[in-house]
């Protein structure tokens, strides 16, 4: 059991919102435009990394050869596809247990941060109606190095005014788990234990996190500024 933590830092895609599938579909479509197949197993490699790094990965695993000067064009094309998909998001796009976990933490004044490499993170939060639950938001516009580099988590910890060891990160990607550990945080993995084996704890979904056991001294307080 993870104990002694005071704040929670959430990844976004695949943790709170079902957008990891959108990313995969966009990369699959891009590969298909070159007559190539991008499989769900290969899709694990684009989780938690920058769009540029994901593009290089997709090109490599699919055997697509394009000159470097086309990389920006292709990355922009993928982002255009993704923005069209997320524009249809509503609160129904939240993963099971996500809203309940955010509400539980907010009611007890547990500091909450978002650490997402996505440059579209704030739009996704707005579309799904959960922006106001976060005390700090770090997105892809605010970092120069992506996961597994710890930069994004160290910035989130700084904004929460907590020590890394007092924060638990909730991640679904191998790169995210590695970055959070490098930052000195505790980590809860969302997914398969054999994939996220380095996390301190692995659960199938956010709704399975034992928050009441982790924050035993937390007291419910009313906050009219928090969303209900």
- Rg, Å, the chain Cα set: 18
Spatial separation of the C-alpha atoms in residues 152 and 197, rounded to whole Å: 21
Check whether 84 has a pLDDT greater than 80.
Answer: yes
Check whether 18 has a pLDDT greater than 70.
Answer: yes
Same fold, 7-18+91-214 and 20-86: no
C-alpha distances (whole Å) from 214 to each of 133, 138, 166 are 19, 24, 12
Spatial separation of the C-alpha atoms in residues 171 and 18, rounded to whole Å: 13
Reported as a pLDDT band with limits 50, 70 and 90, residue 221 is low
Q: What is the pLDDT of residues 160-199, one digit of tens each?
A: 999 999 999 999 999 999 999 999 999 999 999 999 999 9
Check whether 224 has a pLDDT greater than 60.
Answer: no
Spatial separation of the C-alpha atoms in residues 205 and 201, rounded to whole Å: 12
What average pLDDT does the segment 114-133 reach?
Answer: 94
- The pTM (predicted TM-score) of the whole model is 0.84
What average pLDDT does the segment 132-158 reach?
Answer: 96
For residue 219, the model assigns a pLDDT of: 66
For residue 34, the model assigns a pLDDT of: 96
Domain 20-86 superfamily per CATH: Putative phosphatase; domain 2 (1.10.150.240)
CA angle 50, 54, 56 (to 5 degrees): 120
Reported as a pLDDT band with limits 50, 70 and 90, residue 47 is confident
Percentage of residues in the chain having pLDDT higher than 70:
95
Reported as a pLDDT band with limits 50, 70 and 90, residue 228 is very low
For residue 37, the model assigns a pLDDT of: 96
C-alpha distances (whole Å) from 142 to each of 2, 16, 199 are 29, 20, 25
Active site residues: 11, 13
For residue 223, the model assigns a pLDDT of: 52
Spatial separation of the C-alpha atoms in residues 80 and 99, rounded to whole Å: 28
Spatial separation of the C-alpha atoms in residues 82 and 119, rounded to whole Å: 11
What average pLDDT does the segment 17-43 reach?
Answer: 92
Question: Could you tell me which CATH number the domain at 7-18+91-214 has?
Answer: 3.40.50.1000
The number of residues making up the chain comes to 228
- Domain map (residue ranges) of the chain: 7-18+91-214, 20-86
Beta strands per DSSP E along the chain: 7-10, 112-115, 136-138, 167-171, 186-190, 201-203
Going by C-alpha positions, the residue among 203, 220, 160 that lies closest to residue 185 is 160
Report the run of H or E that residue 176 belongs to, with start and end.
helix 174-183
Going by C-alpha positions, the residue among 148, 127, 133, 56 that lies closest to residue 100 is 133
**What is the overall mean pLDDT for the chain?**
92
């Amino acid at each position: 059991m993870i104990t002694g933590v005071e704040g929670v830092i959430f990844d976004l895609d695949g943790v709170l919102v079902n957008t990891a599938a959108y990313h995969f579909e966009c990369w699959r479509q891009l590969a298909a435009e070159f007559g190539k197949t991008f499989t769900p197993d290969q899709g694990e490699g684009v989780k938690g990394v920058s769009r540029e790094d994901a593009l290089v990965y997709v090109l490599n695993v699919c055997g697509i050869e394009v000159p470097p000067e086309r990389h920006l064009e292709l990355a922009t094309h993928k982002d255009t596809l993704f923005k069209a998909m997320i524009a249809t998001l509503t609160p129904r796009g939240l993963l099971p247990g996500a809203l309940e976990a955010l509400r539980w933490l907010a009611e007890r004044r547990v500091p909450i941060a978002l650490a997402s490499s996505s440059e579209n993170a704030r739009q996704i939060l707005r579309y799904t109606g959960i922006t106001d639950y976060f005390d700090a938001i770090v997105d892809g516009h605010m970092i120069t190095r992506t996961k597994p580099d710890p930069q994004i988590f160290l910035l989130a910890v700084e904004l929460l005014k907590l020590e890394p060891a007092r924060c638990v990160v909730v991640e679904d990607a191998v790169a995210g788990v590695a970055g959070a550990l490098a930052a000195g945080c505790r980590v809860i993995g969302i997914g398969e234990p054999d994939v996220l084996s380095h996390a301190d704890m692995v659960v199938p979904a956010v709704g399975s996190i034992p928050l009441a056991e982790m924050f035993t001294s937390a007291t419910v307080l009313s906050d009219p500024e928090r969303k209900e």
